[in-house]
Amino acid sequence: MDDKGHPHRHVAFAAVAVGTFMSTLDASVVNVALPTLADEFAAGLGLVEWVVLAYLLALAGLLLNAGRISDLVGRGRVYAVGLGIFALASAACAAATSLPFLVGARVVQGIGGAMMNAAGPAILIEVFPLSQRGRVLGWVGLAVSAGLAAGPAIGGFVIDALSWRWIFLPNVPLAVLAAVVVLRAVPGRGSSGTKRFDVAGSVLLAFCLGALTLALSLGGREGFLAPAVLGLGLAALVCGIAFVQVERRHPAPVIDLSLFRNRVFTGSALAGLLVFITVGAVNLVMPFYLTQAQGLDTRQMGLVLTALPVTLALVSPISGAAVDRSGSTRWIATTGALLAAGALLVLGLVAERTGPLGIAACLGGIGLAVGTFQSPNNTALMGSVPADRLGTAGGLLATVRVTGMLVGNAIGAAAFVAAGAEPANGAGAAHGMQIAALLGAGAGLLAAAASLARGPAGVPRSSPQR
């Protein structure tokens, strides 16, 4: 590839952007629908949250495996298959007649989403020149924001006017369109090296992350000292230790553990994990806070939630362009993490006494922070790996995002339970949001420290050796 990049790079970007928009639109619409789904299936937060967590569980368990497969067989092929799976699962979600069926369909959606999220960043890094890397990742952030921004507003209106089932149907034509574009324009070749796949490591990793996800979910409702939670935590630890031992000996591991010797790679991954813990601490419980403590209906709630992704959409391309101009990622990412901590701190201080406009302003602050942070942090992480591990790096990038959201969701749910939040207890919901936001602010400060400690790293000026 020359310094101008792949000749079809802009078409490839369009395909990745469409898939990214679709998956984030789906996620944000489902968050708005949680109170409606709780009424539809006569289920409480502890059960209906599995509509979100089931999707994240499949993502967390399979992202790294999907990334490694994309390195072996071709990122374009994996992305297109993921789109097809996502479309079929979306149709199944729309046809669900029970909560278990809906949760099962969301698991299948997560499988498709894992393939898309792992291969997408790797495709862009592969086809765009180094001088445009920060910018293109910033524009992907815009696609993420557009999906998140459209989701609450569209979801609120669609649920009120039609039914929650209709929120899944737009995925089908969008996925078909993106799959056609991917198959025509995205490079499909895989690695020219070994085609061996680490089956044992793949299984252990999936069980490790799956057990961890279940432990976090149950711990938020039943307490982290409950026997089932402790058992799942122990299982995750055992599988994790076994996974590391297998990876050290396998000639073609799922994750090349030597990557973690690179301070930029490890620091960027840790900072990303902590920033998404910050966001996850409030995003799952925010719809319940807005309905219970603020008394908003679904349509009003959707408009308030839109403040975060709209701000993120405005900031992401600017942050990416700043990375390309300055060649620096460390200070911009650290600033974003500090802004996240500040926004959550303000939210925690005002949650019990402000109105919808104040909450929208806080959510806008979170969007400003994440938009500032993501592009430089992702650029640093993706630029620190060799070309034949871009899929794995893309999978790890998405894994830390999903795992961070899961940990944050568990923190938020635990805060709500501890505060006694119930539909008839608006004060309890407000107090639960206060606790969740303050804990999230602490995670944001740790993210800033991790970003700062990874050391100076600019935008790479030469491609890794293939």
Task: Decide if 113 contacts 59 (C-beta within 8 A).
Answer: yes
**What's the rounded mean pLDDT across residues 122-133?**
74
> Which class is 9-184+254-453 in CATH?
mainly alpha
Which tokens is 449 given?
A: 């420290």
Backbone CA torsion sign across 360, 365, 368, 372 = negative
End-to-end CA distance of the chain: 11
Q: What pLDDT score was predicted for residue 452? A: 87
The average confidence (pLDDT) of the chain is: 80
Which tokens is 204 given?
A: 């252990």
Does residue 106 have a pLDDT over 80? yes
**What's the rounded mean pLDDT across residues 160-178?**
82
Band (pLDDT 50/70/90 cuts) for residue 363 is very high
Q: Which of 274-288, 313-327, 379-393, 411-425 has the lowest mean pLDDT?
A: 411-425
Q: What pLDDT score was predicted for residue 366? A: 92
Band (pLDDT 50/70/90 cuts) for residue 462 is very low
Does residue 466 have a pLDDT over 50? no
Which tokens is 327 given?
A: 């060649």
Residue 104 CB neighbours (<10 A): 16
CA distance 54 to 211: 12
Does residue 463 have a pLDDT over 50? no
Band (pLDDT 50/70/90 cuts) for residue 77 is confident
CA distance 143 to 8: 19
Q: Which of 304-308, 334-338, 415-419 has the lowest mean pLDDT?
A: 415-419
Q: What pLDDT score was predicted for residue 425? A: 62
Q: Which of 352, 347, 356 is nearest to 279 (CA)?
A: 347
Residues 6+ apart with CB under 8 A from 463: 1, 130, 387
DSSP per position, 174-229: HHHHHHHHHHHHS-----SS-----HHHHHHHHHHHHHHHHHHHHHHHH-TTSHHH
Percent of all residues in the chain with a pLDDT value above 90, rounded to a whole number: 14
Higher pLDDT, 144 or 461: 144
Which of 9-13, 99-103, 159-163 has the largest mean confidence?
99-103
Q: What pLDDT score was predicted for residue 241? A: 92
Q: What pLDDT score was predicted for residue 458? A: 47
Does residue 221 have a pLDDT over 70? no
**What's the rounded mean pLDDT across residues 89-118?**
89
Which of 64-78, 197-211, 305-319, 430-444 has the largest mean confidence?
430-444
CA distance 356 to 350: 11
Q: What pLDDT score was predicted for residue 56? A: 74
Does residue 318 have a pLDDT over 90? no
Which of 124-133, 221-230, 383-392 has the largest mean confidence?
221-230
Backbone CA torsion sign across 118, 280, 50, 89 = negative
User: What's phi and psi for 6, nearest 5 deg?
Assistant: -70, 140
Q: What pLDDT score was predicted for residue 447? A: 92
Q: What pLDDT score was predicted for residue 274? A: 93
Q: In angstroms, how far apart are the furthest CA atoms of the chain?
A: 62
Q: Which of 79-88, 246-255, 357-366 has the lowest mean pLDDT?
A: 246-255
Could you give the 3-state DSSP secondary structure of residue 328? strand
**What's the rounded mean pLDDT across residues 237-253?**
86
Region of residue 250 (phi > 0: left; psi between -120 and 50: alpha; otherwise: beta): beta
Which tokens is 406 given?
A: 């899961």
Percent of all residues in the chain with a pLDDT value above 70, rounded to a whole number: 86
What does the pLDDT look like over 366-387, one tens digit per residue?
989 988 888 888 888 877 777 6
Q: What is the pTM of this model?
A: 0.77
- Please report, for residues 29, 360, 363, 435, 438, the alpha-carbon distance to residue 350 in angstroms, rounded to integers and kept in the order given: 26, 12, 12, 11, 11
Which tokens is 64 given?
A: 């790294």
Task: Decide if 99 contacts 48 (C-beta within 8 A).
Answer: yes
Q: Which of 38, 109, 99, 111 is nearest to 284 (CA)?
A: 38
CA distance 457 to 377: 10
Higher pLDDT, 45 or 256: 256
Helices 9-40 and 298-305 cross at an angle (nearest 10°) of: 140
Does residue 145 have a pLDDT over 80? no
Residue type for position 259: L
Q: Which of 158-167, 211-220, 229-238, 373-382 has the lowest mean pLDDT?
A: 211-220
What does the pLDDT look like over 379-427, one tens digit per residue?
888 777 776 677 777 778 777 887 888 788 878 877 877 776 665 566 7
Q: What pLDDT score was predicted for residue 88? A: 92
Q: How do the domains of the chain map onto residue ranges?
A: 9-184+254-453, 199-253
Q: Where does residue 238 rank: exposed (0-12), middle (13-18), buried (19+ CB within 10 A)?
A: middle
